[in-house]
Amino acid sequence: MEVAYIQTPIGIAELKGDENGLASVSVLDINKPIGTIPDVLKSAAKQFQEYFEGTRTEFDLKLNPEGTDFQKKVWEALQEIPFGKTISYLDLSKQLGDVKAIRAVASANGKNPLWIVVPCHRVIGTNGDLTGYAGGLHRKKWLLEHESPVKQTALF
């Protein structure tokens, strides 16, 4: 498994993958030397740069996350949420065919190993509240604002 570190506006991202695809992306709360990017991760690093520059709204990468069949089903559904849109955990559960599975869906969402590429940050509470995010709520807020079609300027 190859590893690369890239600088993003919300922290250092750690990318892991090999010839079978991108296995995980996470954000670190510590500084890491950036170093060289392995060939198998260059496309992912470039696409992340484009995403943060605002020129990419979809990722085109071979993915290879580890998870249960149910988790993979949830992660596939997350990839259907359009850039700049959000969905509630309840609506995601309905979309997957079982409203009673809301807690299992939320758990699978929280175990998503592919930060941003599989956009778990686009899932919010039924009442519109920002709810848990493995990278921290401040990052979830930043990502949703970054993707928002309406750019709000600071008032003060």
The CATH number linked to 91 is 1.10.10.10
With 0-12 / 13-18 / 19 or more C-beta atoms within 10 angstroms meaning exposed / middle / buried, residue 155 is: exposed
> Looking at residue 2, what DSSP letter applies?
E
**How far is it, in rounded angstroms, from Cα 94 to Cα 18?**
34
For residue 155, pLDDT beyond 60: no
Residue 91, amino acid: D
Expressed as residue numbers, the domain containing 123 is: 69-147
With 0-12 / 13-18 / 19 or more C-beta atoms within 10 angstroms meaning exposed / middle / buried, residue 38 is: middle
Same structural domain, 48 and 74: no
Q: Does any domain span residue 154?
A: no
Q: Does any domain span residue 80?
A: yes
From 120, 124, 143, 144, active-site residue: 120
**How far is it, in rounded angstroms, from Cα 132 to Cα 107?**
10
pTM over 0.75: yes
Q: Does any domain span residue 152?
A: no
pLDDT digits (tens, 9 = 90+) for 64-109: 999 999 999 999 999 999 999 999 999 999 999 988 999 999 999 9
Same structural domain, 39 and 82: no
Same structural domain, 82 and 119: yes
Opening angle at CA 72, ends 67 and 77, nearest 5: 150
Q: Does any domain span residue 155?
A: no
Same structural domain, 30 and 85: no
Q: So what's the pLDDT on residue 127?
A: 83
> Looking at residue 101, what DSSP letter applies?
G
pLDDT digits (tens, 9 = 90+) for 10-46: 999 999 999 999 999 999 888 887 889 999 999 999 9
Q: So what's the pLDDT on residue 33?
A: 79
**How far is it, in rounded angstroms, from Cα 84 to Cα 155?**
22
What is the number of structural domains in the chain? 2
Q: So what's the pLDDT on residue 65?
A: 97
Same structural domain, 75 and 143: yes
Q: Does any domain span residue 90?
A: yes
Q: Does any domain span residue 17?
A: yes
**How many CA atoms does the CB half-sphere of 49 hold within 13 Å?**
10
The predicted model gives 52-58 an average pLDDT of 95
Q: Does any domain span residue 133?
A: yes
Q: So what's the pLDDT on residue 35?
A: 87
Same structural domain, 76 and 142: yes
Same structural domain, 73 and 124: yes
Same structural domain, 11 and 77: no
Classified as helix, coil or strand, 92 is helix
Concerning whether 60 is annotated as a catalytic residue, the answer is: no
Q: So what's the pLDDT on residue 129?
A: 84
Q: In which region does residue 147 sit, left (phi positive, over 0), alpha (psi from -120 to 50) or beta (all else)?
A: alpha
Same structural domain, 90 and 135: yes
Q: Does any domain span residue 59?
A: no
> Who has greater pLDDT, 124 or 132?
124
